[in-house]
Amino acid sequence: MAVFPDVPGFRLLRLASFDTYHRVMPRIPRSEPVVIVAIDEDSLRLHGQWPWPRSWLARLVSRVADAQPAAIGLDILMPEPDRLSPMRLPGLVEELDPALAQRLAALPDSDALLARALRDRRVVLAVAGLEQPDPARPPGRGFAPVRAFGGDPGPFVRRFAAALGSVDTIDAAAAGRGVISVDPEGGVVRRMPLLVSVGGTLAPSLGVELLRVAAGAPALSVRVGSGGIDAVAVSDLAVPAERDGQVWVYCSRHRPERFVSASAVLAGQVDPARFRGRLVLIGVTALGLSDYQATPVADRMAGVELHAQLLEGIIDRALLSRPPLARGLELAALAVTGLLLIGGVPRVRPRTSVALFLLLAAALVALGFILFAGRGLLLDWATPVLALGILYTVMLALTLTETESQRRALRLEVERQREAAARLAGELEAARRIQMGTLPRPAAAFPGEKRFEVDASLEPAREVGGDLYDFFRLDDDHLFFMIGDVSGKGLPGSLFMAISKALYKSTVLRRHGQVAAMMREADAEISRDNAEALFVTVVAGILDARSGELEYCSAGHEPPLLRSRAGGGIERLQEGGGPPLCAVDGFPYTAASRTLAPGDTLVLITDGITEAAREDGRLYGRARLETVLTGLGPAASAAEVGEAIRRDVTLFTGGAEPSDDMAILVICFNGPPPPLPSRERPG
């Protein structure tokens, strides 16, 4: 839009932005070079309706001229002879006394009186441009000469076919003539011409001609560049202009102090000092008679006041400008803010992007106001803001569309992951059930057995774990048991746990031999297809239920704890054993033995018990475990021992998520039952 500045809709938007500058920061006059003598409502009430006899205008001009103003401008068109002139009254009044008519005819003509008042005084008459030629009014008569430098200004300025001025009698007495025609854009006057063409002849505007007459300059000068008019000069005062010879008027608000009522001037009630050395405009301001125009600061402003605004702007050097550079600056500002918007919108949330857009739009508006206030430049902010808004809307729509597409894709991905997670959870739950199903249940393992008790439990840290335990009879009098911990966790650990348990049990069932030999053979079996180089710690043993003889071997596992019923102390069984299975090929494991007394309890755990951690990182530890075991009564069963350990670990961790699997195996040796008493035979 900044590239195509002449599109009608965009031009009106641009002009509206210029009007905003005026409404927010109207011009504050620095001097009062112009006084308006207004033929207002009070003047009409005292002296009658308009038009007045031109003899009254002559008296009004004379009163002002006697105060020695710099120049006087008559913003009044008088194209026809005065109908109220004495010699013309008999034609207006029927049955007028012939003698009176003869006396009236002898009186001076009103037009001649006004011409006499104008003659030899610095008075400029108003001329209106006509779009159509008028044979009765030869164009280009009586305008001040214009000297052009650099080219012909004619093709650039506003052109009129003819001009409507005053009757010859009055026109011939004036010191100058100035065009008062203006062209509102969108119904609002923002620009006024300095120079126009009337029938091919260059003619100044009323304000410029007033300045020429006041300065006593014989001619005007105009400088023409390659793109049009650069400036119009009056004596040594050069006024920069647009290429068509017009200027942007910086309007102030209506100022009553500019005005003096014509009735007050005719009554001699105005101090002559008010006019001395100033430019005086005489015009009609009464409602219904004046050519009121809309301006950026007022919906209605008298035409004569518009010319005063132009003169004040020229003298105070307070005219506005819109150089060709302004369009480039607008385009550059739009490009910078647009790039920031393009780069920012996709990276922030929609709510934040709104703030970004408003910030950039405010920056454009602020730039316009800064240049207007400081340099008098008219920078269009509305069109770039509109373009930025369109760009933001498109960017936001694309971003929201992309976001919605990603959201749908994410929703589908989440649903897919949920399905996969549910499927995996189901599979892990099935694996948990299978894994836990491979472990023997102590309550149903040895029905009717009184010589020993077994309690066992396994709590995986995840759905499945790598800890293991097993126990079964080798024969009626020998109990095999083991507990182990695989180096891996989760599903890999559970698979290796199942393989290790199965291979170890197979080895035990085949060998039925010594524990050390079983350990060596199981190590070889488990190591054979261990592609992931996992290892497993194990404690295995055989208990003779008749004698309490215990043979055991530890492969890098936590030593078993022996709780003696007799002494009540806790002993760690650290003899025998070697490194974890699959750690050292062909290691010669050795076993150890111990004879259990009735009531002794063997406690085997994995490191998940001693390394159970609270949320503050503190570990459960072996010392607390031994304290729990010591605190139990001497007659505590295997189930009571196992439950005491589990309960205390839960109390210690306080619900913290477990970091490792926890397995417990408790074997309580009760000894063989006492023999039944023999029956005595009767004698």
Q: Which residues pair with 129 in a beta bridge?
A: 163
What is the model's pLDDT at position 144?
93
> Among residues of the chain, what percentage have pLDDT more than 90?
58
Last residue of a domain, one of 315, 339, 373: 315
Q: Give the DSSP letter string of 541-604.
A: EEEETTT-EEEEEEEBPPPPEEE-TTT--EEE---SBBSPBTTSTT---B-EEEEPPTT-EEEE
Do 503 and 596 share a domain, yes or no? yes
> For the chain, what is the total number of helices (H) and then of strands (E)?
19, 28
Do 475 and 423 share a domain, yes or no? no
* Mean pLDDT (the chain, rounded): 88
* Planar angle of CA 594, 597, 603, nearest 5 degrees: 70
Contact (CB, 8 A) for 3 and 373: no
Last residue of a domain, one of 374, 407, 438: 438
pTM value is 0.64
What is the model's pLDDT at position 91?
60
- 470-494 pLDDT, tens digit per residue, is 999 999 999 999 999 988 776 777 7
What is the model's pLDDT at position 8?
60
4 has a pLDDT exceeding 60: no
- 609-619 pLDDT, tens digit per residue, is 999 999 888 99
Q: Is 70 within a domain?
A: yes
**b/e per residue, 664-676, with b = 16+ CB within 10 A?**
bbbbbbbbeeeee
In degrees and rounded to multiples of 5, residue 552 shows phi and psi of -145, 160
Q: Is 519 within a domain?
A: yes
What is the model's pLDDT at position 677?
61
Do 484 and 588 share a domain, yes or no? yes
Do 398 and 447 share a domain, yes or no? no
* pLDDT band per the 50, 70, 90 thresholds, residue 360: very high
Q: Is 674 within a domain?
A: no
- 406-441 pLDDT, tens digit per residue, is 889 999 999 898 888 778 777 667 777 777 778 898
* pLDDT band per the 50, 70, 90 thresholds, residue 25: very high
- Give the torsion sign (CA, 58, 64, 68, 69): negative
Please give the average per-residue pLDDT across 549-566, as a whole number. 91
The CA-atom distances, in angstroms, between 276 and each of 37, 282, 369, 674 are 13, 15, 37, 146
What is the model's pLDDT at position 249?
96
Alpha-carbon torsion angle 126, 128, 129, 132, nearest 10: -140
480 SS3 class: strand
**Which segment of 111-120, 191-200, 498-507, 660-669 scores lowest on mean pLDDT?**
498-507
Of the candidates 35, 43, 74, 70, which has an alpha carbon nearest to the alpha carbon of residue 255? 35
In degrees and rounded to multiples of 5, residue 23 shows phi and psi of -65, -35
What is the model's pLDDT at position 82?
85
Q: Is 682 within a domain?
A: no
H or E stretch covering 468 = strand 467-475
- 264-298 pLDDT, tens digit per residue, is 999 999 999 999 999 999 999 988 776 899 999 99
What is the model's pLDDT at position 89?
64
Do 288 and 357 share a domain, yes or no? no
140 has a pLDDT exceeding 60: no
* pLDDT band per the 50, 70, 90 thresholds, residue 99: low
Do 9 and 62 share a domain, yes or no? no
> Among residues of the chain, what percentage have pLDDT more than 70?
92
What is the model's pLDDT at position 219?
95
243 has a pLDDT exceeding 80: yes
What is the model's pLDDT at position 681?
46
- 362-398 pLDDT, tens digit per residue, is 999 999 999 999 999 999 888 899 989 999 899 888 8
**What are the tokens at 497?**
């746990």
Q: What is the CATH number of the domain that holds 607?
A: 3.60.40.10
Do 421 and 454 share a domain, yes or no? no
What is the model's pLDDT at position 96?
65
In degrees and rounded to multiples of 5, residue 553 shows phi and psi of -150, 135
Do 446 and 432 share a domain, yes or no? no
**b/e per residue, 61-72, with b = 16+ CB within 10 A?**
bebbbebebbbb
Do 201 and 279 share a domain, yes or no? yes
- 433-464 pLDDT, tens digit per residue, is 777 778 898 888 898 899 999 999 998 877 77
Give CA–CA dist 435/469, Å, rounded. 11
552 has a pLDDT exceeding 80: yes
Give CA–CA dist 39/646, Å, rounded. 111
Q: Is 339 within a domain?
A: yes
Q: Is 104 within a domain?
A: no
Do 389 and 484 share a domain, yes or no? no
Residue holding tokens 């259990």?
596
Of the candidates 21, 4, 137, 119, which has an alpha carbon nearest to the alpha carbon of residue 61? 119
154 has a pLDDT exceeding 50: yes
Do 451 and 467 share a domain, yes or no? yes
Contact (CB, 8 A) for 235 and 304: no
What is the model's pLDDT at position 3?
47
Q: Is 488 within a domain?
A: yes
Please give the average per-residue pLDDT across 528-539, as a whole number. 86
H or E stretch covering 458 = strand 452-459
Task: Report the number of distinct structural domains present in the chain.
Answer: 3
Do 355 and 253 share a domain, yes or no? no
* pLDDT band per the 50, 70, 90 thresholds, residue 93: low
What is the model's pLDDT at position 683?
42
Q: Is 206 within a domain?
A: yes
Q: Which domain holds residue 43?
A: 30-86+112-315
Contact (CB, 8 A) for 44 and 255: no
Last residue of a domain, one of 315, 336, 370: 315
